[in-house]
Chains A and B, each alone.
Chain A
Amino acid sequence: MDQGTRYDVLIIGAGVVGNAIARELSKYKLKIGVLEKELDVGMGTSSRNSGVIHSGIHYKPGTLRAKLNVLGNSMFERLCRELKVKMSYIGKLTVAQEDSEIKSLYELKEQGEANGVPGLQILKRDEMEKLQPGVGGILALYSPSTGIVCPYTFTIRLAESAFRNGVSFWLGKKVVAIEKRFDTFLVKTQDGETFTSRVLINSAGLYSDQICRLLGIEEYKIYPCRGEYLILDKRLGHHLKTLVYPAPHHGKAGLGIHLTKTVDGNILIGPSNEYVNSPEEYATTREIMEVLLKEGKELLPDLETSDVIRSFCGLRAKQTPPEVGGFRDFVIEHRKEIKGFINLLGIESPGLTSAPAIALTVKDLLEEVLTLEEREDFLSELPGFTGYFSELSYEEKMDLISKEKDYGQIVCRCEGITKKEVIDAIQNPLGVKTLSSLRYRARVMMGRCQGGFCLPRIVEILTKEFGFRPEDFLLHREGSYLFTGNVR
Chain B
Amino acid sequence: MKREVVVIGGGPAGLAAAISAKRAGARDVLIVERDKRLGGILNQCIHDGFGLHRFKEALSGPEYAKRFIERLDAEGVEYMLDTMVTKLGRDKTLELSSAKGLKRIEAKAVVLAMGCRERTQGAIMLPGTRPSGIYTAGQAQNLINLQNIMVGKRAVVLGSGDIGLIMARRLLLEGCEVVGVYEILPYPSGLPRNIQQCLLDYGIPLHLSTTVVEVHGERRLTGVSVAKVDPNRRPLPNTTSFIPCDTLLLSVGLIPENELSREAGVEIEPMTGGPLVDDTLMTSLEGIFACGNVLQVHDLVDHVSEESELAGLFGARFSEGELRPLGEYTSIRPGPGIRYCLPQRVSRERDFFLSLRVKEPMRDKKIVLLDENRKRLIQKSFPRLHPAVMVRLKVMVEKIAKAKGLEVRVE
Contact = CB atoms under 8 A, between A and B. Distances in A.
Interface string B130-160: 1111001011001110111111110000000
Contact of A410 (B86, B100, B136, B146): B86
Interface in B10-34: 34
Contact of A483 (B127, B143, B174): B143
Interface of B: 34, 82, 84, 86, 95, 97-102, 117-123, 125, 127-133, 136, 138-139, 142-144, 146-153, 174, 213-214, 218-220, 235, 246, 255, 259, 262
B132 A398 contact: no
A394 B138 CA distance: 33
26 contacts: A282-B130, A283-B214, A284-B127, A289-B127, A394-B102, A405-B99, A408-B97, A416-B86, A448-B123, A449-B117, A451-B139, A452-B120, A452-B138, A452-B139, A456-B146, A470-B149, A474-B132, A477-B218, A480-B219, A481-B132, A483-B149, A487-B148, A487-B149, A487-B150, A488-B148, A488-B174
Interface stretch (A27-35, A160-168, A305-313): A305-313
Contact of A282 (B129, B139, B220, B235): B129
Given A406-B99, A453-B117, A484 B86 contact: no
Contacts of B133: 482
A409 interface: yes
A459 B34 CA distance: 17
Contacts of B262: 235
A280 B98 CA distance: 43
Contact of B136 (A286, A452, A459): A452
A91 to B, nearest CB: 27
B185 to A, nearest CB: 16
Contacts of B131: 475, 480
Contacts of B122: 231, 308-311, 450
A285 interface: yes
Nearest to B133: A482
The 7 closest A-B pairs by CB, nearest first: A310-B122, A475-B132, A479-B219, A405-B99, A456-B142, A480-B219, A450-B120
A461 B117 CA distance: 21
B408 to A, nearest CB: 25
Given A397-B97, A401-B102, 14 more contacts: A230-B125, A280-B218, A282-B130, A283-B127, A285-B127, A286-B127, A306-B119, A409-B99, A452-B120, A475-B131, A476-B130, A479-B219, A482-B132, A486-B148
B34 A413 contact: yes
A332 B163 CA distance: 55
Given A283-B128, A452-B138, A463 B150 contact: no
Contact of A463 (B120, B130, B147, B214): B147
A381 interface: no
Contact of A477 (B82, B98, B219): B219
A413 B123 contact: no
Contacts of A486: 148-150
B120 A284 contact: no
Contacts of B220: 479-481
A251 interface: no
Nearest to A469: B149
Contacts of B143: 456, 459, 483
B34 A483 contact: no
Contacts of A129: none
B34 A410 contact: yes
Contacts of B86: 390, 410, 416
